Amino acid sequence: MRSNRTTVEEPIRLSDYDYDLPPELIAQEPIEPRDAARLLVLDRRTGAIEHRIFRDIGDYLRPGDLLVVNDSRVLPARLFGRRATGGQVELLLLQARTHGCWEALARPARRLRPGEVVTILPRQSGLADPAPAMIVERLEAGCVLVQLPSDVLDALDRYGHVPLPPYIRQALRDPERYQTVYSRAPGSVAAPTAGLHFTPELLAQLQSSGIRLARLTLHVGLGTFKPVQADDVREHRMHAEWYHVPVETLAAIRSTKEQGHRVVAVGTTSARTLESIADRLEVEHELTGWTDLFIVPGHRWRVVDALVTNFHLPRSTLLLLVVSFAGRDLIFRAYRQAIARGYRFYSFGDAMLILDKS
C-alpha cells in the first residue's frame, strides 16, 4: 500500500475549509449535453478567473498536453434487503474481498449480527428472485463484511441501484449519465465526476488538435467521500482505494514531462493516483496497488500540472486537495464568484480548470 502523508508543522483546521452554499445551487440532475456545463478557469499563478463553457476547454490546452482520465465504472452497488424480523437493510458495496465477500457500508450497521442472514431484493419485482446473504463480520465506521451469493454477484445490475450521493434527492432517468463516456473498468461506488463533462466528440476534437489522452483506474470507495471529523485534518485517515496505471500511461507521462508539456489530471481521483506513484514513473511495467494518500495543503505536487475538477463539499477531503493545488485564498475566491454567478455544485454540477497559463 502506498502512503505518502504530508508533513505540516502547523495544524490544518477543518473549520478553515467551510463555506455556505445556497441549497438551490446543488445540482440535482446532469446538464444536457454533457459539455454544456459551465467552466471556471483559474490561473493559479496570477489569480485570474475566467468564465466559459466546458466545451471551450481546448482553448486552454496546448498540443502535447496529456489529459489523464480515470476509466473506472460505477457499480450498481446499492443493495436493499430485509431482515428476518421484517426490518429493512441497505448495503453499499465498497470493496471485494475473497470468495464472494464484500466490505459494505450498512444501515442499520449496529443492529446486524455476524451469522445473520438477510434477503437481498431485486431492483424491480420480477426481475430476479430474492437471494440470501450472510453478515460475516461487523467492521468499523458502520461497515460489515457480507457474503453475497453468486446469484446476486453474477447479475448485480438486476439487484443493485446506482449509488447516487445523498444530496441528490431524485432518481436518475438514465443511469449512464452517472458514468463517464470512457468508463470501462467496473469497481467504483461513486463516479469520478469531473469526467462526466466530456463527450466523445469533445475528446475527438481535443485529440485532433494534438492533446493526448491517457487512462488509469482508481476505484472510488469510502476513502473519497468519508467525512473528515478530526479538527486537525492531518489526523484523518483515508480508506485505501485500488488503482491500476498501465505501462502506456507511464510512458506518456514521461514523454510529456521530457518535452515540457503539461500533465492535466481529470478529477481528484486521477490526481491522487498520479501523486501516489510520483516516485515510480520510471518503471517499465504497469503499476497496481492501493493508495491511502491524503493530499492536504502543504503537499508537494510532483506529477500533476493542471487539474479539471468539480465544485466540492465544504470540509471535504476533495476540497482540501483542490486547495493544496491552488491555495486557499484563490480557491475560496473562485468559489465565491461561482456562488454569486449561480454555478451548479457537486457531482452533477459545473467544472473548474486550474492551471498556470504562462
What is the average per-residue pLDDT within 256-263?
98
With a cut of 80, say whether residue 10 has pLDDT above it: no
d(CA 73, CA 191): 7
Average the pLDDT over 51-71 and give the result.
98
Model confidence over 188-231: pLDDT tens digits?
999 999 999 999 999 999 999 999 999 999 999 866 667 788 88
188 lies in a domain? yes
Grid cell listed for 67:
489529459
My answer on whether 190 and 260 are in the same domain is yes
From residue 271, alpha-carbon distances to 22, 293, 303 in Å are 28, 11, 8
Condensed to tens digits (0 to 9), the pLDDT of residues 19-32 reads: 999 999 999 999 99
Residue pair 190/157 in contact (Cβ under 8 Å)? The answer is no
**Which pLDDT band holds residue 263 (cuts at 50, 70, 90)?**
very high
Query: pLDDT band at residue 236, thresholds of 50, 70 and 90?
Result: confident
Using DSSP's 3-state secondary structure scheme, residue 320 falls into helix
For 256, the domain range is 14-74+174-355
In contact, 36 and 55? CB cutoff 8 Å: yes
User: Please, which residues have CB within 8 angstroms of residue 243's CB and are 6 or more apart in sequence?
Assistant: 216, 217, 218, 219, 273, 276, 277, 287, 288, 289, 290, 291
Q: How far is CA 238 from CA 135, 138, 157, 347, in A?
A: 24, 19, 29, 20
Evaluate if residue 6 carries a pLDDT over 70: no
Asked whether residue 256 is assigned to any structural domain, the reply reads yes
Q: Would residue 252 count as lying in a domain?
A: yes
Mean pLDDT of 98-119: 92
- Residues 88, 62 share a domain: no
Residues 6+ apart with CB under 8 A from 56: 39
pLDDT at site 118: 97
Q: How far is CA 261 from CA 83, 153, 211, 304, in A?
A: 56, 43, 10, 11
H/E stretch holding 135 reads strand 131-138
Q: Does the structure show a pLDDT above 90 at 137? A: yes
Give the span between the Cα atoms of 38 and 335, in whole angstroms.
13
CATH number for the domain harbouring residue 315: 3.40.1780.10
Are 345 and 270 in a shared domain? Answer: yes
pLDDT at 180 over 60: yes
Is the domain of 299 the same as that of 183? Answer: yes
Q: Which residues of 275-292 are buried (b: 16+ CB within 10 A; e: fewer)?
A: bbbbeebeeeeebeeebb
> If 0-12 CB within 10 Å is exposed, 13-18 middle and 19+ buried, where does residue 113 land?
exposed
Predicted pLDDT of residue 342: 98
Structural domains in the chain (count): 2
